Structure 1
């Protein structure tokens, strides 16, 4: 029995959620841990996989794949890697790409797939708890295919090194990409002019601001506190919709999902879409004038007051 994990690459290393998926898959005790990487894995990716206990990294180096992401072609690579690894279970990060690629695999192989899994109750049959309704509820689901497919919800676990490193032997796959699998392919990417969404998702402290900020000029305290705590700024969807702050700072179902040690939500009501993005935070402190706001009722701690009065007082105490 073995398990295969799809690795997404960021900056020459395995992405945070991919390293989480490796830990998640290894801890299932489903046998040897394998990984699949589209393209030639950088040394950083190999090191990350070895640290996680991966025994082999299956790679596809067809020149057609170098032009950009193509979901159907990636699915073909995952299929080939699954056969090479004799995988009984395939896991991917619960990202846009991870969910799309495994959905293609499921359709091509007529298999069942569970998306956004947070925990596993049983391996045979595969019984999981998974996020639904944007993370507002959990569903218990059974996947009874011979080969089981699932994506792991972001930040369901912390990435942890294996007790002993794996060999992480790079093993090329004998695969030629079918041109029909390249009909939908990313042909160009452009760097964001400002900001870094990766910084938000990796931050251990996030200070968030919502409609209660009152306008673009109302984020001075949020920025100052985030800087003082060595954290990042996050915002609610309404803030980006109004053009007060850039989209890469948005936390929520249509923004970034975060799992910091501390999330301070200032002037944020806590709509279900926003909660879907911050529910994995270890500790949540809400600052709001409304004691009945959803964010206040769900937070670990709450301060009932105006953020424009509370934040300066906190900064004075930290000075």
Structure 2
């Protein structure tokens, strides 16, 4: 059995879980094993049904007072107990911050090896030996590794493949698993949330208008804000912009900022340093606006306009206004 740990937020499945199930279908087929899933802190029928739509034949649920909300220690111990009871051949989770944290907890508790951010996993020479390609340094480096383990713990690279439902959905069977958790594990459980902003966020926006050092000043971001508002998107920025104090860190796109997945990312005046590219590369399409034709962002973009962003951005806005009129 390949067991996929399903990440969710209070009963809503996370995209990382869907990606892990998509990744897991291929791996389970290669193992010649059924694809099953584990759901911690919830037994919602809709989550079970959605897991079935992505190919999970069975979903094991663990509910406990300590699991009232997410907590790395509680979820890690619950996952470890489920693995002890279910005895899967391999365990997989999505490569989000939460998924990697849970699997690290499991690895420590079960004394098993963990490999994070996998892009390819192949059986190599039989049971217990795995050939793995994974991304390092935010995706700027690919590492080929060999893992010898009877029960590998893996996470799939975040946003490295599109989540796709199975060609033939199955009706997943839900089965409760009893877990015995010490109340002390609740010391790191989420107790409350404060909504800092409503509506579309940088990580969920369908359109992101990015600005870099080439924008020139905090005030010069106004045309970018206008275009983003017209397209129902958000404004992002490079690290150079936050370092200059022009925009808050919450607007930063990159390895140490927010990783975005819009339908289109319009990167204006951004050179495209590797750290920024790591945060932007999951965009469906990228349009670069830059006066430097050799800029990294221009070279890697789907489309590029070699011109002054202060002329191009207002021109795009005016054309949209004209067409809508």
Q: TM-score range by the shorter chain?
A: 0.7 to 0.9
Whether contact under 8 Å (1:13, 1:48) holds in the other structure is no
User: How much does 1:43 deviate?
Assistant: 4.0
Secondary structure, counterpart of 1:302 in structure 2: strand
Secondary structure, counterpart of 1:166 in structure 2: coil
Which residue matches 2:211? Answer: 209
Q: Residue 146 of structure 2: which of 142, 147, 150 is its match?
A: 142
Residues 279-307 of structure 1: CA distance to partner in whole angstroms, max 9, x if unpaired? 22333221123333322232233222221
Whether contact under 8 Å (1:154, 1:257) holds in the other structure is no
Which residue matches 2:21? Answer: 22
Which residue matches 1:60? Answer: 62
Counterparts in 2 of 1:78 and 1:275: CA distance versus 1, 3 Å: same
1:126 aligns with 2:134: no
Counterparts in 2 of 1:238 and 1:189: CA distance versus 1, 3 Å: farther
Residues 93-133 of structure 1: CA distance to partner in whole angstroms, max 9, x if unpaired? 11111111111211222221111112234465222221111
Which residue matches 1:169? Answer: 173
Whether contact under 8 Å (2:268, 2:309) holds in the other structure is yes
Which residue matches 2:158? Answer: 154
Which residue matches 1:249? Answer: 251
Whether contact under 8 Å (1:34, 1:85) holds in the other structure is no
Which residue matches 1:185? Answer: 188
Which residue matches 1:273? Answer: 275
Distance, in Å, in 1 between the alignment partners of 2:272 and 2:121 is 28
Counterparts in 2 of 1:7 and 1:93: CA distance versus 1, 3 Å: same
Distance, in Å, in 1 between the alignment partners of 2:10 and 2:162 is 20
Counterparts in 2 of 1:113 and 1:297: CA distance versus 1, 3 Å: same
Which residue matches 1:6? Answer: 5
Distance, in Å, in 1 between the alignment partners of 2:184 and 2:263 is 45
User: How much does 1:42 deviate?
Assistant: 3.2
User: Is there any run of 5+ residues in structure 1 with no aligned partner, and where?
Assistant: none
Secondary structure, counterpart of 1:201 in structure 2: coil
Aligned residues: 315
Distance, in Å, in 2 between the alignment partners of 1:311 and 1:121 is 46
Whether contact under 8 Å (1:113, 1:143) holds in the other structure is no
Which residue matches 1:77? Answer: 78
Secondary structure, counterpart of 1:24 in structure 2: helix
Counterparts in 2 of 1:214 and 1:11: CA distance versus 1, 3 Å: farther
User: How much does 1:193 deviate?
Assistant: 2.2
Counterparts in 2 of 1:186 and 1:258: CA distance versus 1, 3 Å: same
Whether contact under 8 Å (1:115, 1:130) holds in the other structure is yes
Q: What's the TM-score, normalizing by structure 2?
A: 0.87
User: Is there any run of 5+ residues in structure 2 with no aligned partner, and where?
Assistant: none
Whether contact under 8 Å (2:64, 2:179) holds in the other structure is yes
Which residue matches 1:89? Answer: 90
Give the RMSD, CA atoms, in angstroms: 2.4
- Tell which structure's C-alpha radius of gyration is larger: 2
Counterparts in 2 of 1:47 and 1:227: CA distance versus 1, 3 Å: farther
User: How much does 1:34 deviate?
Assistant: 1.6
User: How much does 1:180 deviate?
Assistant: 5.1
Which residue matches 1:99? Answer: 100
Counterparts in 2 of 1:310 and 1:122: CA distance versus 1, 3 Å: farther
Whether contact under 8 Å (1:25, 1:91) holds in the other structure is yes
User: How much does 1:61 deviate?
Assistant: 1.4
Distance, in Å, in 2 between the alignment partners of 1:252 and 1:241 is 13
